[in-house]
Structure 1
Amino acid sequence: MELAIILMMILIVVAIGAVKLNEPSLTFPFKKKTNLFTPVERSFVTLIDEAVGNQFRIMCRVKLSDVVATRESVNKKTSKSAFSRTSGRQLDFVLCSREDMSPVIAIDLVHANQNGKDGYKRQRDWFVSGALDAARIPHVRIKVRSGYTAQDIRQCIDAKLASVRIASSNTPLISGTAGQVKDPNVATRPTKPLGQNPIAA
């Protein structure tokens, strides 16, 4: 009987030791990713950096809630609801001022593939567009294609920034996150075709 109790205690001690030894791997079952970005994202961040890297700081995969905030005049319920909707949205790239890191323009990549992960931004998210419009942050949606050059990206960004500056000086903003009067001259994507074939992923 005593021998059985001793053996049982030894088994318990061994079991506890085994759990302790394996605890880190059970709690943190992670490994390092080989890259932060997909091949398409890497291609675009390189182009953007070449196009405007000396003018802006490029932030990747930024939460919408990191670049917009609710106005002070909004009641708590509306503010909480708006924040909840922004926290689940993500922008592919945000170009920020080099001086104070304030957001200047948001860029999203639009994949042609409608199915699967690659097609998740094929359809415009009107909440994202409305929130950025209300915050007066220009939003560019660029179709994923091959043949882009840094000059193409530069022209697209410059055209969007110029048109938004003109529109913001003439167009009133109605109170709220929706209701901004749209200027038909405001570009929402590159003003000319930028290549013919999809970028190889």
Structure 2
Amino acid sequence: MAIGGLLRTLPRRKLRRARTLPCQIKRILFSPEEHALFAVLKSAIGDEFEVFAKIRASDILSPHRGSGRREAGELYQSMAGRRFTFVLCHKPDLSVAGIVELAEHGAGRKAQDADEPVALLCHAAGLPLIRIPASPYYDMGEIARQIRDEIRREPVFIHGDGEGGRIEPRISNLEDLKF
């Protein structure tokens, strides 16, 4: 009833235009392999990280401050349309901790060739990249180990302005160090 009343109050012109847009909802967000990996990832990361899916590279990467137009243009061109399968973020501040990519073999292409731009972007940004081969089943313990091995546990601090600055590990326990 309420919807019918709302539709009667909308101008007919706007209603007709909305009906002609060629759009439909995609009911499935993930492929079966992505869905299986997402579920295992959520369990493997525990309370330490948040996982976000299908994030555009341009949402988390930008050119270094002071980069020339040519370099910035090349970066944006390499990021165009690129999405990371999963982005792991530290829970307290949602800062990006690493990238998890599903290594799929498409028809007529090699997984290594398809993942090369992602590897270059992650390397340039200093982001850990964890590649997991597509499979209907995933080993949660193995994925947890890969994440632990690739992503630093030590907190970091950034020298400089935070964009393009030098990142160094922070020593959290001085007792065991010998001077």
TM-score (norm 1): 0.62
Aligned match of 2:176: none
8 Å CA contact retained: 2:36, 2:137: no
In the alignment, structure 2 segments of 5+ residues that lack a partner are 1-11, 155-163, 165-179
**Distance in 1 between the 2:76 and 2:112 partners?**
24
| Count of matched residue pairs | 144
8 Å CA contact retained: 1:105, 1:137: yes
Aligned match of 1:25: 19
Aligned match of 2:117: 127
Cα distance per residue 1:146-177 (max 9 Å; x no partner): 44222121011112225x98xxxxxxxxxx9x
**Distance in 2 between the 1:67 and 1:23 partners?**
35
**Distance in 2 between the 1:19 and 1:121 partners?**
48
Instruction: Specify the SS of the correspondent of 1:142.
Output: strand
Deviation at 1:109, TM superposition (A): 0.7
Instruction: Specify the SS of the correspondent of 2:113.
Output: coil
Deviation at 1:140, TM superposition (A): 1.2
Deviation at 1:69, TM superposition (A): 1.3
Query: In the alignment, is residue 52 of structure 1 matched against residue 37 of structure 2?
Result: no
Identity %: 24
Query: In the alignment, is residue 115 of structure 1 matched against residue 107 of structure 2?
Result: yes
Residue of 133, 136, 151 corresponding to 1:143: 133
In the alignment, structure 1 segments of 5+ residues that lack a partner are 1-17, 166-175, 177-201
Aligned match of 1:91: 84
TM-score (norm 2): 0.68
Aligned match of 1:101: 94
**Distance in 1 between the 2:15 and 2:51 partners?**
42
| CA shift in 2, pair 1:88/1:32, >3 Å | closer
Q: Say which one has the larger Rg.
A: 1
| CA shift in 2, pair 1:90/1:121, >3 Å | farther
| CA shift in 2, pair 1:126/1:22, >3 Å | same
8 Å CA contact retained: 1:114, 1:122: no
Amino acid at match of 1:93: F
**Distance in 2 between the 1:154 and 1:56 partners?**
11
Instruction: Specify the SS of the correspondent of 1:123.
Output: helix
Cα distance per residue 1:84-125 (max 9 Å; x no partner): 3213211100101112211111011112x4407xx6745353
Cα RMSD (Å) of the superposition?
2.8
| Greater strand content | 2
Cα distance per residue 1:38-64 (max 9 Å; x no partner): 221111110000010411111101111
